[in-house]
Amino acid sequence: MMTIMTYRVAMLNLLCLIASPSNINSFTSISHSNFLSQWTVSSSLKMASIDDDLARWAKDAGHGDIVSSKSCGSSGWASFRRVTCSQGPCDEFFVKSSNRSAKEMFEGEALGLEAMYECSNNDDGLCIPKVFHYSDIADGHGSFLVMEYLTLSGRGDGHALGRAMARMHLAEPTAKTGNPHSKFGFALDNTIGGTAQPNGWTNDGNTQDWIEFYRDKRIGHQLHLAGDSYCSKLWDKDIAPRLDALFQGMEIRPSLLHGDLWSGNIASVQGKPSIYDPATYWGHHEAEWGMDWCASFGKSFWDGYRSLIPKDDGFDDRKPLYDAYHQLNHYNLFGGSYLGSARGCLESVKRSLDSM
């Protein structure tokens, strides 16, 4: 059995080290003792700075006193701890903290988890951690997010995970799920990893709205951050003006997406599939699979998913378009060989358009 954060941190660190070999030499050149010392002092200060805020929240919310608070590690943009309280129907919590504001770092994640929770609230749905609280730290040095603590097992039944993901994608946009007007986007901008992710609502919820949203707020945004002239020229000249051709004859409706679905964000809780740590927004359901190069979905998963959402014509032509967003984001986060992968994705899209 693994906790939500032990698994998340281990997988994230492994991905960064393996998939970004160009970063390894610069990392190993750092004095390990100096790095560890600085990390320990910094983490201790951040953890201590929210103790009073957590204690006040627990007391005000009816959870009593905090009896235990244990570090669960960190990522490049947040620190994690397991907190146990003295009373209440739920007495164990998972807390994420950051030196960035709640508006910038955790509000989007909290609202995303709440939307996923509502869209998965059925017998064969996903197990989504419940959100209890998020706020800025009172001293002005960062923010924190409190959610249900889950004890995770391995991924479990692939077929059940596939069907549960399809159930979430098929959920109707409503006021309760945060999308009362059935549009693409989200109630606020959020983050994907440490990268800002713009989510301004589209004018409507039709196919053309989706194309424009993805063109400008996904690929266009990441290309602006990357600053790679080759990719930008390829996109602006050869792909973006012809993007409509990839969606010819389709009627795309908004689906709630996890937004950053890779192996480190998937597990099971008491046999029920669970996903977490999202970059949620409402989009084309196919965009969910832009990270499947790092998710290891097998035949059982796809059989489960396709039993509810069949594969649309042109899926294989659109797949590298959706992969490109995440490859570019990984380049913007980690550098290294991801730029070459992003270029390959965009070149593949251009070849598909040229053949139409």
Q: Single out the residue of 149, 186, 184, 167 nearest to residue 273, CA to CA.
A: 167
> Rounded distance, CA 220 to CA 196, Å?
13
- What CA–CA distance (Å, rounded) separates 144 from 277? 14
| Contact criterion met (CB below 8 Å) for 99 and 180 | no
- Which residue in 304, 348, 340 sits closest to 322, CA to CA? 348
Q: DSSP per residue over 317-334, as a string?
A: HHHHHHHHHHHHHHHHHH
Using alpha carbons only, what angle is made at residue 46 by residues 43 and 50, rounded to the nearest 5 degrees? Answer: 140
d(CA 111, CA 201): 15
Is 260 noted as a catalytic residue in this protein?
yes
Sheet holding 66-74, edge to edge: 66-74, 79-85, 92-98, 143-148, 131-136
Kindly state the tokens that stand for 136. Answer: 């800025």
How far apart are the C-alpha atoms of 217 and 198, rounded to whole Å? 6
Token couple for 320: 């590298």
- Residue 68 CA, chain-centre distance (Å), reads 29
Looking up tokens 């994907």, which residue turns up? 192
* Helix H or strand E encompassing 136: strand 131-136
Please, what is the Cα angle at 309 between 111 and 244, to 5 degrees? 80
From the CB of residue 279, how many other CB atoms can be counted at a distance below 10 Å? 24
- List the catalytic residue out of 260, 292, 317, 323: 260
How many other C-beta atoms lie within 10 A of the C-beta of residue 75?
Answer: 19
End-to-end CA distance of the chain: 50
Measured CA to CA, the distance from residue 282 to residue 279 in angstroms comes to: 10
- Residues with a catalytic annotation lie at 260
